[in-house]
Structure 1
Amino acid sequence: MSRLKGRVTLATVAGSAGVSVATVSKVLNGRSDVSPVTRARVQEILEKHGYVGRRPEPTRRDTIELFYQGVVNAYSVEVIQGVVEAGQAAGVDVVLNSRPKHPPTSNANPGRAASWIRQLIANGRRAAIGLTSELSEADLAALERARVPLVVIDPANTPEPELTSVGSTNFAGGVTAAQHLLALGHRRIGYVGGPPTSGCNQARMSGFRSVMDSIGAPVPPEYIWLSDFLYDDGVAGGSALLDLRDRPTAIFAGSDEVALGVLEAARARGLRVPEDLSVVGFDDTEVARLASPPLTTVRQPLREMGAVAVRTALQLAVGEPVASHHVELATTLIVRGSAAQHGLSIAAS
């Protein structure tokens, strides 16, 4: 059988098979009211001549909006991966968007929040997930009015009691980091962390300080540096602490990226890690494993946090109750090469 020339249509297939266009359409749609002989003849012609029908209308899938503020870093990449994988498993699409940080007067101007919510509704979002995002009262009120469920992962500001959020045991992680450094013989331990208003930063620092207070070695104010969770903040904070007359022998960093900045500050001053300075991070991202030396860090299950946020958001979207409005997943200490027994080199320098 020769191949039909030009664009193959239902009419050309019908003419070649000696049947009506309606019969060809029935075969394409799997109708049962066509004889087996006719069906076989039509299918043979369709296959031999590569008939391509109209592209079917795409089936609209449920979507979740994942939004963040600031820059995408090693921490957020891990969480985003967890959200996307959980979305695929649940049969929903994840749309990633960036939202600018709020101006100081954002709470007094609900128009900005209303515009954002209108976009969510127009795009058919079933729910929204915020990644370390700061939400204003206007944002929360607009989401509630529109009945768009919201789950926040590691809120940038201290979460309201009614806000559904997912995080890790940050306080316990701070305790673990302090206990590990104390067990290595360190007593002069500094903290370089994130924003003072960040709930997870407050918890990490509080856990660390509670252990230091309990052994009668309170952390002096000059040993605390708070800015953000990024590499440049680690360089700045590490530099400030390491330039002190009585510099710390160990630094607990509020994130792995901050810890990498502290490593650079130490390198720039000719200090060896871990011989002259021990460093412990927080997160256990890919950069912790690639650091030189590999970073001892407090691991939080970032991908699982993203997955829990997706499952919780979908529960809220269908009106199912959730067991808790705030879920904390366990942290664990991962020991690598950036922290060691306190020696004499820094004390003798």
Structure 2
Amino acid sequence: MMTSTGSQHVGDGSKVKLSDIARQTGYSLATVSKALNGKGDISQTARQTIDKALKESGYVRRIAPERKQRTIEVVFQDFETIWALEVLRGIIHETKQHDINVMVAESGDRQHPDSAWVEGIIERHPIGAILVFSNLTDGERSTFQSHGIPFVVFDPSGNPALDDLSVQADNWIGGVIATRHLLELGHKRIGIITGPDEMLCSRARLDGYAAALAERNIPTSPELITEGDFTTPGGYEGAMSLLENEQNHPTAIFAGSDLQAMGVYEAARQLKIRIPEDLSVIGFDDIQTAAYMGPALTTVRQPLRDMAATAARMIIDATEGRQIQKRVILPTSLVMRDSTQRIRKHN
């Protein structure tokens, strides 16, 4: 945008004032200023007259330097799920309060961004990066650090390095409270569809499940545990394998994510198994659509937006030199809806 300070030096050292142009042309100072800055609410005659006077006086418009945009980059494995949208909403809610832009990238790798993406972010030099489901190699970490770009690992797939900033939910407690809820309803044969085994959050939820069973002296049964990938197709495949045996299938399923719970619903529909009358289902995340499933999904709330906003604040605090808690773990909580009920006695 073009702006003026009200006067401008010309080549011979004299100083042209807008008040001089106003007096010379007979227009008000406000009208001269509008013409100078390209405002549209003056006549064409006035604009031409003032432009001519400015040119003849040797007045040179000064272009104010554009403020450099501040950007945080967010990298997802993919951006095809409601889960990812929930995370992005939390980040944007925080960054817009600080006049910071958000750029989204897909890495195509759940474990860590590929090197091409890392090189791209270094070239763009944002104020920081939020890496979703990501862990960096030592070389990539060194690259970010040497270029002064702070990063936060969001819901890390493994144990972050001691100096890495990270934010996650209390996945172990989430696994415990999900399983306890089903146990309190009288279920003993509780199936679980985990996420990928190499992911820390998935292992923590499975450990929480096992711990809750142990509280009731119920051993874990390998035939009740199946690995998923946190997607709806993965949940469907896992449910079909758990429910194949009509005589001995679980009376409840703990799906490691709400997206997987959607897959369980579809498998149950195809097998003509009623939820919750014949099968209780509990998810994990509490994404926006969980409350609108039929029946509404009981789930463990992972505060995704709060986690995302926290990650963005960590970047902002790092750039402004404030002290930061390096590892943040936010609490999970049970959200009871209609997809779980007390086990029927004949089961």
| Alignment equivalent of 2:99, drawn from 91, 107, 114 | 91
Contact 2:19 2:29 in 1 (8 A): no
Contact 2:233 2:260 in 1 (8 A): yes
Q: Find the counterpart in structure 2 of residue 81 from structure 1.
A: 89
Q: 1:41 to 1:339 in 2, by over 3 A?
A: closer
Q: Find the counterpart in structure 2 of residue 250 from structure 1.
A: 252
Following TM superposition, by how much is the alpha carbon of 1:263 offset from its aligned partner in structure 2, in angstroms?
A: 1.1
Q: Find the counterpart in structure 2 of residue 66 from structure 1.
A: 74
State the one-letter code of the partner of 1:259: A
Q: How does 1:271-290 map to 2 (within 5 A)?
A: 271-290=273-292
Q: Find the counterpart in structure 1 of residue 8 from structure 2.
A: none
Q: Find the counterpart in structure 2 of residue 321 from structure 1.
A: 323
Q: How does 1:140-155 map to 2 (within 5 A)?
A: 140-155=141-156
State the one-letter code of the partner of 1:272: R
Q: 1:54 to 1:219 in 2, by over 3 A?
A: farther
Q: 1:221 to 1:55 in 2, by over 3 A?
A: farther
State the one-letter code of the partner of 2:153: V
Contact 1:117 1:146 in 2 (8 A): no
Most deviating of 126-135 and 286-295: 126-135
| Alignment equivalent of 1:301, drawn from 284, 300, 303 | 303
Q: 1:336 to 1:328 in 2, by over 3 A?
A: same
Following TM superposition, by how much is the alpha carbon of 1:320 offset from its aligned partner in structure 2, in angstroms?
A: 2.9
SS at match of 1:166: strand
Contact 1:190 1:219 in 2 (8 A): no
What CA deviation, in whole Å up to 9, does each residue of 1:76-105 have, x standing for no partner?
Answer: 1101100011110122111111113289xx
Q: Find the counterpart in structure 2 of residue 179 from structure 1.
A: 180
Q: Find the counterpart in structure 2 of residue 13 from structure 1.
A: none
Following TM superposition, by how much is the alpha carbon of 1:131 offset from its aligned partner in structure 2, in angstroms?
A: 1.3
Following TM superposition, by how much is the alpha carbon of 1:55 offset from its aligned partner in structure 2, in angstroms?
A: 8.7
State the one-letter code of the partner of 1:176: I
Q: Distance in 2 between matches of 1:56 and 1:179?
A: 63
Q: Distance in 1 between matches of 2:19 and 2:232?
A: 62
Unaligned runs of 5+ in 2: 1-14, 52-60
State the one-letter code of the partner of 1:302: L
Aligned length: 314
Q: 1:246 to 1:81 in 2, by over 3 A?
A: same
Contact 2:71 2:103 in 1 (8 A): yes
Identity %: 33
State the one-letter code of the partner of 1:255: S
Following TM superposition, by how much is the alpha carbon of 1:316 offset from its aligned partner in structure 2, in angstroms?
A: 1.9
Contact 2:77 2:110 in 1 (8 A): no
Q: Distance in 1 between matches of 2:332 and 2:27?
A: 66
Contact 2:193 2:227 in 1 (8 A): yes
| Alignment equivalent of 1:49, drawn from 43, 65, 74 | 43
State the one-letter code of the partner of 1:162: D
Unaligned runs of 5+ in 1: 1-20
State the one-letter code of the partner of 1:295: L
SS at match of 1:280: strand
Q: Distance in 2 between matches of 1:246 and 1:136?
A: 45
Following TM superposition, by how much is the alpha carbon of 1:130 offset from its aligned partner in structure 2, in angstroms?
A: 0.7
Contact 1:253 1:280 in 2 (8 A): yes
Q: How does 1:152-163 map to 2 (within 5 A)?
A: 152-163=153-164
Contact 1:27 1:43 in 2 (8 A): no
Following TM superposition, by how much is the alpha carbon of 1:74 offset from its aligned partner in structure 2, in angstroms?
A: 1.5
SS at match of 1:48: coil
SS at match of 2:299: strand
Q: Find the counterpart in structure 1 of residue 271 from structure 2.
A: 269
Q: 1:49 to 1:275 in 2, by over 3 A?
A: same
Q: Find the counterpart in structure 2 of residue 332 from structure 1.
A: 333
Q: Distance in 2 between matches of 1:117 and 1:34?
A: 59
Contact 1:153 1:165 in 2 (8 A): yes
Q: Distance in 1 between matches of 2:162 and 2:210?
A: 25
CA RMSD of aligned residues (A): 3.1
What CA deviation, in whole Å up to 9, does each residue of 1:245-285 have, x standing for no partner?
Answer: 52110011110000110111111111000000000000111
Following TM superposition, by how much is the alpha carbon of 1:340 offset from its aligned partner in structure 2, in angstroms?
A: 0.4
Q: Find the counterpart in structure 2 of residue 39 from structure 1.
A: 29
Following TM superposition, by how much is the alpha carbon of 1:134 offset from its aligned partner in structure 2, in angstroms?
A: 4.2
Contact 2:110 2:133 in 1 (8 A): no
Following TM superposition, by how much is the alpha carbon of 1:341 offset from its aligned partner in structure 2, in angstroms?
A: 0.5
